[in-house]
Chain A
Amino acid sequence: MVWGRDLRRAGLAAALGVMLPTGIVLPLGTAMADPVKVGLVSTLSGPSAVLGQHMRDGFLLAVKEMGGKLGGQETEVIVVDDELKPDVAVQKVKGLLDRDKVDFVAGVVFSNVMGAVVKPVTGNETFLISGNAGPSTIAGAGCSPFFFSASYQNDQNHEVLGQYAQQKGFKKVVLMAPNYQAGKDAIAGFKRHYKGEVVEEMYTQLGQLDFSAELAKIAAAKPDAFFTFMPGGMGVNLVKQYRQAGLADTIPFLSAFTVDETTLPATGDAALGFYSGAPWAPNLDVPANKAFVAAFEKEYGYIPALYAAQGYDAAKLIDSAIKATGGKLSDKEAVRAALKKADFTSVRGNFKFNTNQFPIQDFYLVKVGKRPDGKVETMVDEKVFSNYGDVYAAKCEMK
């Protein structure tokens, strides 16, 4: 890993700096204080590995930019792969807590993994900083003083599209999602603000490849808009087939977690003009974001997705807390108070914490467009929610 090498180099330079004036040769280890340890849990194998890769790269980029340090302290980031299996994740997280004695656990792409690791981590009084997953249970009654979300609450991105469809005055829509919990949550999230008629609500098999049957039904229903949540490869298939079926020209394609920088390399121009909802886009006009996207592309050679931005922000959030407490991480109350301030420059611009320690932030309708260099990315189209918190915060008893 590149940053690891740089870290060692930085450590060596620091050690040399200590040695030279005095002329005493110290063993490397004693020249450095105990480093801050962060366990980064991400999904790095299996079909969804690309999401985890974005998040990991975003997090590590932030650490690298700060010279391998968080809050001015030497930092060791231990990256573990949860394999998208809750049981594996729990095992590896226990290793991070018991063996490595990490100060923070960060990351976690998927909600089912988050559901499994949240108790072991927060029960151990270790801070858990979500880089993506934001299930309603943790946002609501199951909230914890040791859990902070650097991302969003799961329903919110779907709500953006529902709100947009409502504002636009779309009279009838067709909804489609895979037949599992997250799919049903997506449909419920869309309907929260949408009051028009849902003419068709389709649930497809998880992992479905061919959508021609569903596309024919959409064409027959002639809705004003189509909303879908179709993550990963399913989304790539759907986007291509939607375009090929000629529906893209007549029925607006609204989606969440379907067209983003993880799938756009595969869909390419087929996704042009398709909509998504997100708290961030690569072209979001915030100075910190411009610098982040440029640095990310230079370092890794691909356009960052939301997961990368959130990973980056998670590292910056931890950095701010360590700085504010002067590295005294044993005082949990002080660390929590520092985290709650969210005293860092988010690539998303507006960012503060709600009572349930989930963000209050802006959400945008984003649209797939072409950059001057010919690459496709999601671009901010309009702001749909300002300073928007989630609906579950009321159920959280923390103040």
Chain B
Amino acid sequence: MSTTLLLVQVLNGLQLGVLLFLVAAGLTLVFGVMDVINLAHGVQYMLGAYLMVTATALTGSFWLGLPLALVAALVLGLVLERLVIRPLYGRDHLEQVLATFGVILFVNEGVKMVWGAAPLAIPMPDALSGSIRLMDGLNYTVYRLALLGAGLLVAGGLYLLVTRTRSGMLLRAGASNAPMVSALGVDIGALFAKVFAFGAMLAAFAGAMAGPILSVEPGMGDGLLILAFVVIVIGGIGSIRGAFVAALLVGLIDTLGRSFLTDLLKLVLPPSDATQVGPALASMSVYLLMACVLFFRPRGLFPAPA
């Protein structure tokens, strides 16, 4: 195991973490501010990717397609909020889970009817398709670095939005005491609708950005949704900062576990046992991390003020 390989794997881990953060940020906002468990967040990620497929095909350009797809996702987010989420405010979490789970089934089948069941692809923009040689025989596409940059920019932007702007102030106020904000003359319904649509757009952004390296297919958001929930639970529900730290942590642990755990186990176990145990343990590693965090800090690493 060389130092270069270790560094490459750390970079890979950070990159997976940033992708997870893009998905988890919207989820934690909606959960933290509106107290709505939105299982449909995964399909919003998927819709983002599919809208991007259509938008890039229509405009013939990644850069024109991206804003188009984001606007479409924003509009769809508003529609979903009006139709499904609004009647669920203040209701039991179980009812929210049931309703948004229904949305998953509905949208997954809908996507298959509109775009077909076969996986699709988003072409990588030419400007970012070059690559850098990281180590002997391994290239790293500029696009992946751009993805890393985009994720960090979104993280910074969200931080400024939440802590420095009037909307951010309302958002934090709404999270801690919605009836009081409403009593002060703020239209809390409109605020919630905006937060939800914004969250949907963030998820769509993640989907659109992941499209060139991942396959666009029905159900692509379902697996990621579970990881996103792990991230927000570790980070502390409602905390953007927590989501960011937790996402990087999960990305790193997952990647490093996959790369080195089997080799490490070979030092103490016979090789055939190590190849059995290693992958199983690696796929459990993020959940073990979550269990540990919950044991010592039941409200997550950075709990949002109650």
Whether A and B are associated in the same complex: the answer reads yes
Check if A46 sits within 8 Å of B279, measured CB to CB: no
Residues of B within 8 A of A233 (CB): 119, 215, 217, 220
Check if A217 sits within 8 Å of B5, measured CB to CB: yes
How far apart are the CA atoms of A103 and B139 in the complex, in Å? 56
How far apart are the CA atoms of A46 and B258 in the complex, in Å? 27
Residues of B within 8 A of A196 (CB): none
Check if B136 sits within 8 Å of A265, measured CB to CB: no
For residue B288, CB closer than 8 A to chain A, the reply is no
Residues of B within 8 A of A265 (CB): 118-121
Check if A219 sits within 8 Å of B135, measured CB to CB: yes
Q: A213-B12, A216-B259 are in contact. Are A201 and B275 (CB under 8 A)?
A: yes
Residues of B within 8 A of A205 (CB): 258, 279, 282-283
For residue A247, CB closer than 8 A to chain B, the reply is yes
Check if B136 sits within 8 Å of A50, measured CB to CB: no
Distance to closest chain A CB from B104 (angstroms): 12
Check if B215 sits within 8 Å of A236, measured CB to CB: yes
Check if B279 sits within 8 Å of A219, measured CB to CB: no
How far apart are the CA atoms of A203 and B138 in the complex, in Å? 21
Q: A210-B16, A220-B135, A268-B121 are in contact. Are A240 and B215 (CB under 8 A)?
A: yes
Distance to closest chain B CB from A126 (angstroms): 29
Q: A220-B5, A246-B131 are in contact. Are A237 and B258 (CB under 8 A)?
A: no
Check if B12 sits within 8 Å of A247, measured CB to CB: no
Residues of A within 8 A of B256 (CB): 213
Scan B101-139; emit 1 where CB is below 8 A from any A CB, else 0.
000000001001000111111001000000101011111
For residue B78, CB closer than 8 A to chain A, the reply is no
How far apart are the CA atoms of A214 and B282 in the complex, in Å? 13
For residue B31, CB closer than 8 A to chain A, the reply is no
Residues of B within 8 A of A220 (CB): 2, 5, 135, 137-138
Distance to closest chain B CB from A307 (angstroms): 12
Q: Which of A108-132 contact B (CB under 8 A)?
A: none
Q: A246-B139, A247-B137 are in contact. Are A263 and B119 (CB under 8 A)?
A: yes
Q: Choose one: B5, B112, B138; the contact of A49 (CB below 8 Å).
A: B112
For residue A167, CB closer than 8 A to chain B, the reply is no
For residue A209, CB closer than 8 A to chain B, the reply is yes
Check if A213 sits within 8 Å of B217, measured CB to CB: no
Residues of B within 8 A of A268 (CB): 121
For residue B214, CB closer than 8 A to chain A, the reply is yes
Check if A209 sits within 8 Å of B224, measured CB to CB: yes
Residues of A within 8 A of B135 (CB): 216, 219-220
Check if A214 sits within 8 Å of B215, measured CB to CB: no
Check if A203 sits within 8 Å of B275, measured CB to CB: yes
For residue B8, CB closer than 8 A to chain A, the reply is yes
For residue A266, CB closer than 8 A to chain B, the reply is yes
Distance to closest chain A CB from B262 (angstroms): 8
Closest to B276 in A: A203
Q: Choose one: B16, B139, B212, B223; the contact of A245 (CB below 8 Å).
A: B139
Closest to B5 in A: A220
Closest to A263 in B: B119
Q: Which of B277-303 contact A (CB under 8 A)?
A: 278-280, 282-283
Closest to B131 in A: A246
Scan A226-255; emit 1 where CB is below 8 A from any B CB, else 0.
000000110011001100111100110000
How far apart are the CA atoms of A46 and B259 in the complex, in Å? 30
For residue B15, CB closer than 8 A to chain A, the reply is yes
Check if B137 sits within 8 Å of A266, measured CB to CB: no
Closest to B135 in A: A219
For residue B26, CB closer than 8 A to chain A, the reply is no
For residue A215, CB closer than 8 A to chain B, the reply is yes
For residue A17, CB closer than 8 A to chain B, the reply is no
For residue A207, CB closer than 8 A to chain B, the reply is yes
Distance to closest chain B CB from A331 (angstroms): 40
How far apart are the CA atoms of A215 and B138 in the complex, in Å? 8
Residues of B within 8 A of A202 (CB): 262, 279
Closest to B109 in A: A45
Q: A216-B9, A222-B137, A245-B138 are in contact. Are A47 and B280 (CB under 8 A)?
A: no
Supplied contacts A214-B259, A244-B131, 16 more A-B pairs, CB within 8 Å? A47-B218, A50-B119, A201-B275, A203-B275, A204-B279, A216-B12, A217-B5, A217-B259, A220-B137, A233-B215, A236-B119, A240-B214, A241-B213, A245-B140, A263-B215, A265-B119
Top 5 closest pairs, chain A to chain B, by CB: A246-B139, A236-B215, A219-B138, A266-B119, A203-B279
User: Which of A's residues lie within 8 Å of B, judged by CB?
Assistant: 45-47, 49-50, 53, 179, 201-205, 207, 209-210, 212-217, 219-220, 222, 232-233, 236-237, 240-241, 244-247, 250-251, 262-263, 265-268, 302
